[in-house]
Amino acid sequence: MYAAVHARPDGQSTVARMAQTASRYGYDGIVVRNHGDCAATFDAEAIADEYDVAVVEGIEVRASDPSRASGLVGNHRSSKTIVAVHGDSVAINRFAVEQPTVDVLAHPTRGDGDVNHVLAKAAADNGVRLEFSLHDVLHETGGTRVRHIQSLRKLRELVEHYDVPYVVSGDPHSHLQLRAPRDLIALGETIGFSPDQIETGLREWAALIERNRRRQSDAFVEPGVWLDDE
């Protein structure tokens, strides 16, 4: 399982500190998903060797409109193992789920964002993972937390009905916000998710990483087509 994290300067902790904590909590690795304007500088190989945990470079594209988002996705697709789009509006959400080059639509119900049956079907058709972010359940209180739980339940119904691929994360911005997989599974149960649903979403990061690394291989031509070794 992988933890998808925001590290300094997008968060409060260094990549190394995030990796150290993730290793202690039993994760196989971390995905550094900083926003594009807050890129982290780190030596993934050195950190992996130090803490015995994989460190994967990703990005969470944040843009004010779909045109800008499209350019940023194109710029980063070949260099980043995981490309997510920061969901915070219906227009951005619609753009993201229609792009097979996007891996994850992050926290799609945050801000002015929403997901309906049309967007859910598009995500399923294009293989775009919708994220169940547990960040606000963990760190907000009162009405904000209640609204977020309601949004997650609505999203879960759409994901189940249209068989949409998905990921789960605690979306931590500090090593102090990291939670072990068992804790996220327990939290999920309290808001109506089954343990298997949370575990599947946590494991999906690793599946994406493996798929994308194969696609970045020189032998890859297109899905299902590979150059002959000879």
Indicate the burial class of 180 (C-beta count within 10 angstroms; 0-12, 13-18, 19 or more): middle
- Residues 6 or more apart from 63 whose CB is under 8 A from it? 69, 72, 85, 86, 92
Interval 27-46: pLDDT, tens? 999 999 999 999 999 999 99
Express as a percent the part of the chain with pLDDT over 90.
93
Interval 140-193: pLDDT, tens? 999 999 999 999 999 999 999 999 999 999 999 999 999 999 999 999 999 999
Q: Domain 2-226 class?
A: alpha beta
**Predicted model pTM:** 0.92
Cβ pair 181, 199 in contact under 8 A: yes
The verdict on whether omega for the bond into residue 181 sits within 30 degrees of 0, i.e. cis, is: no
* Domain limits, the chain: 2-226
R_g (Cα) of the chain, nearest Å = 17
pLDDT for 226 equals 44
Cβ pair 7, 212 in contact under 8 A: no
Task: Output the average pLDDT for the chain.
Answer: 95
